[in-house]
Amino acid sequence: MSDRHYPSPYPHGDHTPWSPATVAVLRSAAMGATVGAAAATAAQLKRHDAHVALNEVLHAGAVTGLTTAAATLVGQSLGRKPLTRFAAMFVTGTALVYLLNPSKPGESA
* pLDDT for the residue 53: 83
Q: pTM score, two decimals?
A: 0.74
More confident residue, 26 or 1: 26
Cβ proximity of 65 and 33 under 8 Å? yes
Asked if the model's pLDDT at residue 93 lies above 60, the reply is: yes
For the chain, domain boundaries: 20-100
Q: Are 13 and 19 in contact (CB under 8 A)?
A: no
pLDDT digits (tens, 9 = 90+) for 51-82: 678 888 999 999 999 999 999 999 999 988 89
The answer on pLDDT for 10 being more than 60 is: no
Q: Is the pLDDT of residue 5 over 70?
A: no
